[in-house]
Amino acid sequence: MEAFEGMRLDKLLANSGFGSRTEVKQLLKNGAVTVNDVRQKEAKFQIDVAQDLVEVYGESVLYEEFTYLMMNKPPGVVSATEDNWDQTVIDLLDERDRLKKLFPVGRLDKDTEGLLLISNNGVLAHNLLSPKKHVDKTYFAKIEGVVTEADITIFRDGVTISDNYTCKPAELVILQVENGVSDVEVTIQEGKFHQVKRMFEAVEKQVIYLKRLRMGALHLDETLALGEYRPLTPAELTALTTFEK
C-alpha cells in the first residue's frame, strides 16, 4: 500500500501560490475551500496530496512540491529576487507564481538574454551550479572584432581572465564574421561573474550581445518571446536532473 502523504491544508495552499499562511487562513474562513466537495475551514486539516481534491472557489489546486519554470530573460531585468532599482525576473511572473518563493537558478547579467531556470528547489539549484557537476552552458554571442582560430585554441586550452583565474576548457564555434563583427557560440563549464565577457576581454575583444541557449540538457524554447516563461515539461526536468557522475 502507498504511504499516506499528509500535509496541512494551509501549507498546501500557501505552497501552491494562494498567499501567505495568514491570507490562506482568511480564504479558509471565507469558506472558499473545499476538500472532496466538502467545505473545509480548518487550517490544520490533513490532506492526502495523492488522493484528495482540493478546490478554491471551485478551481482545483494542483499540488506540486516544487516549481520549475523556463524563462526567456529579456535585457534590462536583473536575475535576482529583489532589487531596489531594477525590475527583477521574479517581477515578471504571474501573481500566483510570485507567491511561490521562486528564485533564478544562476545569474545572467542585466543585459544578457535567454535561457533562465527559475525554481524553488534549492537542492537542484545547488547541483546545477556546482562546478563538480560539469553542467555546460552554451551562449550565442556577437563580438566586436574578428574572432580567430587562435582564439578557439586559447579558449580550448583555458583562457586566463582578470583576477588571474584560468577558466576550464571552453568550446568556441565561429558562426560568421561580417563587417568586423563575429557571431559565435561558446560553451563554458563554469559560471564565474561576467565570465563570457571577461573571456573575450582576455583576447582583446568585446561582447556586444549575449544570449544563453542551453544549460546542460535544457534548451531555450525559442517560441517564448522575451520575458515569457513556461513550466518545464516532465522530459525536460528528467533530462536536467540527470547529472554526470
**What separation in angstroms does the CA of 161 have from each of 98, 167, 190, 239?**
37, 7, 13, 32
Euclidean distance between CA atoms 218 and 241, whole angstroms? 10
Residue 195 touches ligand URA, criterion: CB under 6 A:
yes
Q: Which is nearer to ligand URA, 41 or 194 (CB)?
A: 194
Residue 105 touches ligand URA, criterion: CB under 6 A:
no
Euclidean distance between CA atoms 19 and 63, whole angstroms? 14
Q: How far is the CB of 120 from ligand URA (least distance, A)?
A: 22
Q: How far is the CB of 211 from ligand URA (least distance, A)?
A: 9
Q: Which is nearer to ligand URA, 23 or 190 (CB)?
A: 190
Q: Is 91 a catalytic residue?
A: no
> Which residue spans within 147-216 are E strands per DSSP?
160-161, 165-166, 171-178, 181-188, 206-215
Q: CB of 144 within 8 A of CB of 208?
A: yes
Q: CB of 186 within 8 A of CB of 137?
A: no
Residue 109 touches ligand URA, criterion: CB under 6 A:
yes
Kindly tell me which residue out of 210, 218, 232, 240 binds ligand URA, with binding defined by CB under 6 A. Answer: 210
Residue 142 touches ligand URA, criterion: CB under 6 A:
no
Q: CB of 125 within 8 A of CB of 119?
A: yes
- Record the cell numbers describing residue 203, joined without a space: 583576447
Q: How far is the CB of 108 from ligand URA (least distance, A)?
A: 4
Q: Which is nearer to ligand URA, 112 or 121 (CB)?
A: 112
The residue range among 8-16, 33-41, 105-113, 128-136 that interacts with ligand URA, by the rule CB under 6 A, is 105-113
Active site residues: 109
Residues that bind ligand URA (CB under 6 A): 108-109, 112, 194-197, 210
